[in-house]
Amino acid sequence: MRKFLCRLLPMSMMVALALTTPQAAFAEKPAKGYPACSDFNVTVTSSGGTQDVRMTRIKDGIIYTIIAGRGTTITVKNVEGEESVTFGTKGSVTRTAQDIETGTIDFSLSGANLVLLFDRVDVGGPSTVLYTGLVEFTTDSNYTLLEPMEQVSGTQRDVCEELS
């Protein structure tokens, strides 16, 4: 059982980090940016902040993970121009529940979270939005959004519009 948990922990941490704001600090930028705006690609950089895995547990075939972070400054840039948007985040919490059998992952993001949806892959994409509040959605095992966001409350900042 211990070997099984050790194999799943890195995967579950990657799932939890995949769409959270602090993830940009650890992600390697693609050469041409992310296809997360309809007319151009964007790059994301971040500085400062902290991020901690607060809890991971497995129960009834579901991997539950909670990750919390705060104080990250994020910059999103239009790779085809010089436009960029920089904003600070006071904090965020990512809760995930990954079904081991099906691979689906339920995300619940609270606080300030930058969510990028990609062109031709994610339902509702492409888009780059800073959500401040609560966002809930489900992805497949490849972190692809197959259905629209389940719940969105709070404020939304359309970063693509600001970079146009």
CA dihedral sign, ordered 13, 97, 91, 39: positive
What is the arithmetic mean of pLDDT over 80-104?
A: 93
- Statement: residue 43 has pLDDT above 60: yes
User: What predicted TM-score, i.e. pTM, was given to this entire model?
Assistant: 0.76
Average pLDDT, the chain: 83
Q: 134 and 114 in contact (C-beta within 8 Å)?
A: no
What is the arithmetic mean of pLDDT over 26-53?
A: 83
Q: How far apart are the first and last CA of the chain?
A: 51
Query: Which has the closest alpha carbon to 65: 19, 27, 26, 1?
Result: 19
Per mean pLDDT, which range of 15-24, 62-71, 117-126, 146-155 is the poorest? 15-24
Structure tokens at 110: 């609270």
Residue tagged 């600070």 (tokens): 88
Q: Is 147 exposed, middle or buried (0-12, 13-18, 19+ CB in 10 A)?
A: exposed
- Statement: residue 26 has pLDDT above 50: no
The Cβ-side half-sphere exposure at 60, using a 13 Å CA radius, reads 1
Question: To 5 degrees, how large is the angle CA 158–CA 12–CA 29?
Answer: 45
The Cβ-side half-sphere exposure at 150, using a 13 Å CA radius, reads 11
Helix or strand or coil: residue 6? helix
Q: What percent of the chain has pLDDT over 70?
A: 81
Query: Which has the closest alpha carbon to 107: 141, 137, 150, 151?
Result: 137
